[in-house]
Amino acid sequence: MTSSPPPHAVEMKDIVIRFPGVLANDHVNLTLKHGEIHALLGENGAGKNTLMNALSGLYKPVAGTIKVHGETVSFNSPKDAIAKGIGMVHQHFMLVPTQTVTENILLGLNEPKFFMNLTKYDQKIRDLQDQFGLRVDPTANIWQLSVGEQQRVEILKVLYRGADILIMDEPTAVLAPQEIDDLMNTMHTMTEQGKSIIFISHKLHEVTTVADRLTVLRRGIATAEGISIEGLTGEKLAELMVGRKVIFSVQKKEQEPGDVVLDVRGVSAENNKGVKALNNLSLNVREGEILGIAGVAGNGQSELAEVITGLRACEGSILVNGEDVANQEPAKAIASGVAHVPEDRTGVGSAPNMSITENTIMKNYREAPIGSRWSINFTEARNHARELKEAYDILAPNVRTMARKLSGGNLQKVILAREITTQPKLMVAMQPTRGLDVGAIESIQRLLLAQRETGTAILLISEELDELLTLSDRIAVLYEGKVMGIVDAKDADINEIGLMMTGQRSNA
Amino acid sequence: MNLPFKIILEKRTDDVPKWLPVATAFGSVVIAFIISGIVLKIIGGDPIRVLKFFFSATFGSWPVFSDTLVKATPLIMVGLACSVAFKMKLWNIGAEGQFYIGAFAASLVVLIPMVDLETTPKFIVIGLMIIMGMIGGAIWGFFPGYLKAKYKVNEIITTLMLNYIALYWNNFWIFDKWSDAGFQMTPQFNKVAWLPRLSDLAKEYKAFSGITLHLGLVFGIIAAIIIWWILERSHWGYQIKLIGDNPKAARYAGLNISRNLILVMMLSGALAGLAGMSEVSGVVHRLQERISPGYGFTGIIVAWLAKLNPFAVILVSILFGALIVAGREIQPSGLASLLQGIILFMVISSDVFLRYKIRVIRTEQTEQETA
Q: Is residue B130 part of a domain?
A: yes
Tell me the C-alpha distance between B307 and B301, whole Å.
10
A180 and A255: one domain?
no
Residues A415 and A432 grouped into a single domain: no
Q: Is residue A399 part of a domain?
A: yes
Contact A331 B256 (CB under 8 A): yes
SS3 for B296-337 is HHHHHHHHHHCCCCHHHHHHHHHHHHHHHHHHHHCCCCHHHH
Q: How far B245 CA lies from chain A's nearest CA (Å)? A: 6
Show residues of chain B in contact with A378, CB under 8 Å.
233
**B297/B275 same-domain check:** yes
Distance of CA A310 to the CA centre of its chain: 21
Asked which of A423, A456, A489 is the last residue of a domain, the reply is A423
**pLDDT tier at B14 (50, 70, 90 boundaries)?**
low
* CA-based nearest residue to A198, from A300, A87, A354, A303: A87
| Residues of B whose CB is below 8 A from A353 | 245
pLDDT per position as a tens digit, B58-95: 898 888 999 999 999 999 999 999 999 999 999 999 99
Same domain (yes/no): B166, B209: yes
Cβ <8 Å between B256 and A329: yes
As a whole number of angstroms, the distance between CA B201 and CA B197 comes to: 8
Q: What is the DSSP letter of A329?
A: -
A75 and A214 co-located in one domain: yes
Q: Which of A341, A345, A374, A402 to mutate to test the interface with B (most CBs of B within 10 A)?
A: A374
Does B250 fall in a domain? yes
Query: Which of B246, B255, B259 to substitute to test the interface with A, most A CBs within 10 Å?
Result: B246
Q: Is the pLDDT of residue B208 over 90?
A: no
CB contact under 8 A, B242 and A358: yes
A113 and A180 share one domain? yes
Domain, as residue range, for B92: 60-307
CB distance A67 to A11 below 8 Å: yes
Query: B71 near B282, Cβ under 8 Å?
Result: no
Burial bucket for residue A157 (CB in 10 Å: 0-12, 13-18, 19+): buried
A80 with A173, same domain?
Answer: yes
Q: Per-residue confidence at B15, pLDDT binned at 50, 70, 90?
A: low
The answer as to whether B325 is a domain residue is no
Structure-model confidence comparison of residues B109 and A44, the more confident one = B109
Cα gap A148→A132, rounded to integer Å: 15
Determine phi and psi for A431, rounding to 5 degrees.
45, 50
Least Cα separation, residue A384 to chain B (angstroms): 16
**Rounded Cα distance, A442 and A428, in Å:** 18
Q: Is residue B142 part of a domain?
A: yes
CA-based nearest residue to A169, from A153, A156, A159, A155: A155
DSSP character at residue B289? T
Q: Quick count: other Cβ atoms within 10 Å of Cβ B87?
A: 21
Beta bridge partners of A283: A264
Mean model confidence pLDDT for chain B: 89
Please state, in angstroms and rounded to a whole number, the distance separating the CA atoms of residues B100 and B285: 14
Contact A354 B242 (CB under 8 A): yes
Of A311, A358, A361, the CB nearest to B252: A311
Please give the order of strands across the beta sheet that includes A276-286.
A276-286, A260-270, A315-320, A323-324
Residues A122 and A226 in one domain: yes
Burial of A34 (0-12, 13-18, 19+ CB in 10 A): middle
Query: Do the Cβ atoms of A353 and B255 come within 8 Å?
Result: no
Q: Is A438 within a domain? A: yes
Asked if B166 and B117 sit in the same domain, the reply is yes
Q: Are strands A323-324 and A315-320 parallel, antiparallel or unpaired?
A: antiparallel
Can the peptide bond before residue B17 be classed as cis, meaning omega within 30 degrees of 0?
no
- Domain housing A317: 246-337+424-508
**In chain A, positions 372-431, which contact chain B (CB-CB < 8 Å)?**
374-376, 378, 397, 400-402, 405
- A449 neighbors A252 (Cβ within 8 angstroms): yes
Report pLDDT for A112: 72
Residues A332 and A351 both lie in one domain: no
Task: Please tell me which residue of chain A has the smallest CA distance to B235.
Answer: A375
Query: Is A98 domain-assigned?
Result: yes
- Percentage of chain B surpassing pLDDT 90? 58
- Both A264 and A310 in one domain: the answer is yes
Q: Please tell me the number of Cα atoms within 13 Å of A288 on its side-chain side.
A: 11
Task: Using alpha carbons, list the distances in angstroms from residue B124 to A196, A494, B109, B116, B216.
Answer: 83, 79, 11, 11, 16
Count of CB atoms situated within 10 Å of the CB of B319: 18
Q: Give residue-wise pLDDT tens across range B22-64.
A: 888 888 888 988 998 898 889 888 888 888 888 898 898 888 9
CATH number at residue B178: 1.10.3470
Cα–Cα separations (whole angstroms), residue B268 to B159, B220, B313: 11, 13, 14
Q: Which of A380, A400, A423 is the last residue of a domain?
A: A423
pTM, 2 dp: 0.78
Partner residue facing B235 (CB), from A353, A375, A401: A375
Cα-based distances in Å from B7 to B210, B356, B364 = 55, 12, 13
Same domain, A140 and A47: yes
Output phi, psi for A506, to 5 deg: -75, 155
Give the model confidence (pLDDT) of B241-266 as tens digits. 999 999 999 999 999 999 999 999 99
Choose the weakest-confidence range: A216-230, A430-444, B97-111, B219-233.
Answer: A430-444
| Chain B residues with CB within 8 Å of chain A CB | 13-15, 229, 233-236, 238, 241-242, 245-246, 248-256
Q: How far apart are CA B193 and CA B188, in angstroms?
A: 10
Q: Which segments in chain A show pLDDT lower than 50?
A: 1-3, 245-247, 508
CA atoms within 13 A on the CB side of A143: 4
Question: Are A351 and B245 within 8 A, CB to CB?
Answer: yes
User: Does residue B365 carry a pLDDT above 70?
Assistant: no
Q: Are B116 and B246 found together in one domain?
A: yes
Q: Are residues B104 and B230 in the same domain?
A: yes
Angle at B95 between CA B93 and CA B96, to 5 degrees: 105
pLDDT of residue B157: 96
Alpha helices in A211-270 (DSSP H): 234-242
Given A348, A361, A366, which is nearest B249 (Cβ)? A348
Shared-domain flag, residues B25 and B65: no
Q: Could you give the angle at the alpha carbon of A168 between the alpha carbons of A494 and A241, nearest 5°?
A: 10
Give yes or no for a contact between A456 and A426, defined as CB atoms under 8 angstroms apart: yes
Q: Which of A342, A351, A405 sits opposite B13 (nearest CB)?
A: A405
Q: Is A87 part of a structural domain of the chain?
A: yes
A114 three-class SS: coil
Partner-chain residue, chosen from B229, B252, B254, that has the shortest CB–CB distance to A348: B252
Q: Read off the DSSP letter of residue B56.
A: H
Q: Are residues B38 and B64 in the same domain?
A: no
Residues in A closer than 8 angstroms to B253, CB to CB, are 330, 334, 362-363
The Cα-based distances of B237 to A374, A430, B21, B251 in angstroms read 10, 30, 22, 16
Asked if the C-beta of A348 comes within 8 angstroms of chain B's C-beta atoms, the answer is: yes
Q: Please judge whether A371 and B235 are an interchain contact, meaning their C-beta atoms are less than 8 angstroms apart.
A: yes
Tell me, yes or no, whether B271 and B343 share the same domain: no
Estimate to the nearest angstrom the gap between the alpha carbon of A189 and the chain centroid: 29
The residue ranking higher by pLDDT, B342 or B158, is B158
Rounded-to-integer distance, Cα A289 and Cα A475, Å: 11
Domain presence at residue B262: yes
Do A472 and A365 sit in the same domain of this protein? no
Best A344, A375, A404 member to test B by mutation, with max B CBs in 10 Å, is A375
**Which of A232, A266, A301 lies at the terminal end of a domain, its last residue?**
A232
The answer to whether residue A240 is domain-embedded is no
Residue A254 burial (C-beta neighbours within 10 Å; 0-12, 13-18, 19+):
exposed
pLDDT band at residue B367, thresholds of 50, 70 and 90? very low
Contact present, A101 and A153 (Cβ < 8 Å): yes
The gap from C-alpha A460 to its chain's centroid, in whole angstroms, comes to 16
Does the distance separating the beta carbons of A363 and B254 come in below 8 Å? yes
Report how far apart, in Å, the C-alpha atoms of B12 and of each of A82, A355, B19 are.
34, 16, 16
Look at chain A and report how many structural domains it folds into: 3
Candidate from B238, B246, B250 with C-beta closest to A365: B238
Closest CA to A499 of A295, A251, A201: A295
Is A364 within 8 Å of chain B by CB? Answer: no
Tell me, yes or no, whether B136 and B211 share the same domain.
yes
Shared domain check, B104 and B4: no
Within a domain: A3? no
Please, are residues A281 and A449 in contact by the beta-carbon 8 Å criterion?
no
Q: Please, is A134 exposed, middle or buried when counting C-beta atoms within 10 Å of its C-beta (0-12, 13-18, 19+)?
A: buried
B194 part of a folded domain? yes
What CATH number corresponds to the domain at position A138?
3.40.50.300
Indicate whether B263 and B362 sit together in one domain.
no
Structural domain contains residue B55: no
| Whether A184 contacts A9, CB under 8 Å | no
- Same domain, residue pair A226 and A271: no
Residue B174 forms part of a structural domain: yes
Reported as a pLDDT band with limits 50, 70 and 90, residue B189 is: very high
Question: Measured between alpha carbons, how far apart are the two ends of chain A, in Å?
Answer: 57
Of the candidates B269, B318, B296, which has an alpha carbon nearest to the alpha carbon of residue B136? B269
β-pair type (B356-362, A482-488): unpaired
Residue A238 lies in a domain: no
Under the banding of pLDDT at 50, 70 and 90, the label for residue B368 is: very low
Give the residue from A376, A377, A405, A418 with the most B CB atoms within 10 Å of its CB, the best one to mutate. Answer: A376
Number of domains comprising chain B: 2
Cβ neighbours, 10 Å, residue A37: 25
* One domain for residues B76 and B39: no
Same domain, A319 and A352: no
Q: Which of A220-224, B133-137, B268-272 has the lowest mean pLDDT?
A: A220-224
